[in-house]
């Protein structure tokens, strides 16, 4: 038991050291001489999140079994989300407030736990490994009666780094996120996404992310 606690303590110290604001020194080369001109701030920290951020816990863990009603934020999970933690503002904001090897719990379990105008999103719709409430323009088909045969549908992601959600889909839309016969036409070297834009679903194209 003592070795497990020591290992967790070492992991947390290493994680804290990596994420603490680092200070560097600017060096200027002038006629072959190197001059230290003093420290400057290197890491200004993550931007604020646009999604209501579920809190973490202070419960230390190495496995999910040590997190009753939740799961452990392990190094393997961090590696799985490494790109969004690096590239996406919401991912960076989440990572800055959640320590490695601590227990996570869902920020919501159903839509009733979310504020009006929001719904409870699964982790596959988010840039971090916790369920959370996200803005949603509809909850039922009744909300999509502006045009005939409107349906409230789920879409997994918006544009790169933006979460998924729910929006009204109509037969006249350029695409439909859950209809395989109405997918966005492919373009070479681009990722096609069917996302809501100005009240209708349409196609957007983005270059693939870098790794």
CA pair distance 34, 27, nearest whole angstrom: 6
Q: Is residue 128 part of a domain?
A: no
Q: How many CA atoms lie within 13 A of 190 on its CB side?
A: 12
Is 6 inside any structural domain?
Answer: no
Asked whether residue 159 is domain-assigned, the answer is yes
Q: Is residue 79 part of a domain?
A: no
**Distance between first and last Cα of the chain:** 38
In which residue are the tokens 């890491």 written? 43
Beta strands in the chain (DSSP E): 23-30, 33-41, 71-72, 103-104, 118-121, 132-135, 151-157, 163-169, 191-197, 200-206
Beta bridge partners of 85: none
In this prediction, residue 211 carries a pLDDT of 63
Cα(150)–Cα(168) distance, rounded to whole angstroms?
Answer: 6
8: tokens are: 């967790």
Predicted local distance difference test score (pLDDT) of residue 28: 33
Is 142 within a domain? yes
**Domain, as residue range, for 186:** 136-206
- Residue 69 inside a domain? The answer is no
- This prediction has a pTM of 0.71
Residue 20 has pLDDT above 70, yes or no: no
pLDDT tens digit string along 54-79?
Answer: 999 999 999 999 999 999 999 999 99
Q: Is 139 exposed, middle or buried (0-12, 13-18, 19+ CB in 10 A)?
A: middle
Cα distance between residue 134 and residue 119, in whole Å: 6
Q: Is the pLDDT of residue 152 over 90?
A: yes
Averaged pLDDT of the chain: 80
| In the predicted structure, residue 109 carries a pLDDT above the cut 80 | yes
Q: What is the rounded distance in angstroms from the CA atom of residue 161 to the CA atom of residue 164?
A: 10
| Structural domain count of the chain | 1
Q: How far is CA 28 from CA 23, 25, 32, in A?
A: 17, 10, 10
């Amino acid at each position: 038991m003592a070795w497990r606690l020591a290992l967790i303590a070492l992991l947390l110290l290493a994680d804290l050291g990596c994420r603490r604001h680092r200070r560097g020194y600017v060096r200027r080369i002038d006629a072959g001489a190197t001059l230290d001109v003093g420290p400057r701030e290197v890491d200004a920290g993550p931007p604020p999140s646009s999604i209501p951020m579920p809190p973490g816990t202070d419960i230390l863990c190495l496995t999910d079994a040590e997190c009753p009603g939740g799961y452990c934020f392990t190094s393997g999970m961090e590696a799985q989300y490494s790109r969004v933690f690096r590239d996406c503002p919401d991912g960076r904001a989440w990572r800055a407030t959640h320590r490695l090897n601590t227990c996570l719990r869902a920020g919501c379990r159903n839509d009733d736990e979310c504020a009006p105008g929001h719904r409870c999103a699964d982790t596959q719709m988010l840039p971090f490994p916790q369920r959370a409430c996200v803005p949603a323009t509809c909850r039922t088909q009744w909300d999509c009666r502006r045009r005939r045969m409107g349906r409230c549908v789920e879409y997994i992601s918006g544009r790169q780094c933006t979460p998924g959600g729910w929006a009204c889909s109509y037969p006249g839309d350029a695409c439909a996120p859950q209809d395989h016969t109405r997918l966005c036409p492919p373009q070479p070297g681009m990722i096609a996404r069917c996302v809501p834009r100005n009240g209708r679903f349409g196609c957007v194209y983005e270059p693939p992310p870098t790794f």
